Amino acid sequence: MLVIVGLTKLDNGRIQVAVARPQHKSRSVRDYPSEQEARNVLRELGLEEETISEYLVRTHPLSPNQELKFSPADIAQHQLLLHGFKM
């Protein structure tokens, strides 16, 4: 399934991962207490470690609650569901 993954660093220090289908209203969001937990989920969704690291570093200078989006990625629907992303 083609999805856009977004990362947001929240005011409370948690990392929010959002998954949305391009040109659809479906969007699913999950919060993680640490960057490491968010990194693990992103890795299990099939995103490359180098890309994950780059995007996590980019969230640091952002204002709280500002979302940073990855390029569209093809992620198997069962992987999304396994991590609580209902599309």
Q: Copy the structure tokens of residue 22.
A: 């391009």
Rg for the chain, CA atoms, rounded: 12
Q: Which domain holds residue 40?
A: 2-82
Residues listed for the chain? 87
26 within a domain of the structure (yes/no): yes
Q: For residue 25, what pLDDT band results from cuts at 50, 70 and 90?
A: confident
Give pTM, 2 decimals. Answer: 0.88
pLDDT per residue as tens digits for the range 45-76:
999 999 999 888 888 887 878 898 999 999 99
Which amino acid would we find at residue 25?
K
65 within a domain of the structure (yes/no): yes
87 within a domain of the structure (yes/no): no
- Determine how β-strand 67-69 pairs with β-strand 27-32: unpaired
Q: What is the distance between the alpha carbons of residues 80 and 23, in angstroms, rounded to a whole number?
A: 18
Is residue 59 within 8 Å of residue 68, measured between CB atoms?
A: yes
Tell me what pLDDT residue 58 has: 85
